[in-house]
């Protein structure tokens, strides 16, 4: 499983919280690249586990705070 910002961005608007099957269905219906669907299929699913956000799938996914820009500094 290999995530990039571009691939993960296709799941930003997913209906969170969601199960693995719901996320796969969303990715297919929204026209996400096949790599997104393949990555979701590779998730270890322990009987309908609920994912609360993209960070549950990819812990290194950057949050809005990672891109904080302080306008006062410039």
In the block, residue with structure tokens 């799938």: 57
Domain ranges of the chain: 5-59
Q: What is the pLDDT of residues 18-45, one digit of tens each?
A: 999 999 999 999 999 999 999 999 998 7
Residue 27 near residue 36 (C-beta atoms within 8 A): yes
- State the chain's mean pLDDT as an integer: 86
Contact between 43 and 57 (Cβ < 8 Å): yes
All residues at 6 or more sequence positions from 52 whose CB lies less than 8 Å from its CB, including other chains: 16, 17
* pLDDT band per the 50, 70, 90 thresholds, residue 64: low
Tell me which H or E stretch contains 27: helix 20-29
Read off φ and ψ for residue 25, nearest 5 degrees. Answer: -60, -45
């Amino acid at each position: 499983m290999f995530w990039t910002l571009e691939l993960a961005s296709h799941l930003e608007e997913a209906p969170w919280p969601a199960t693995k099957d719901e996320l796969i269905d969303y990715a297919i219906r929204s026209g996400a690249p096949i790599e997104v669907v393949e990555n979701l299929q590779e998730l270890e699913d322990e009987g309908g586990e609920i994912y609360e956000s993209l960070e549950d799938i990819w812990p290194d996914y950057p949050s809005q705070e990672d891109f904080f820009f302080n306008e006062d500094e410039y």
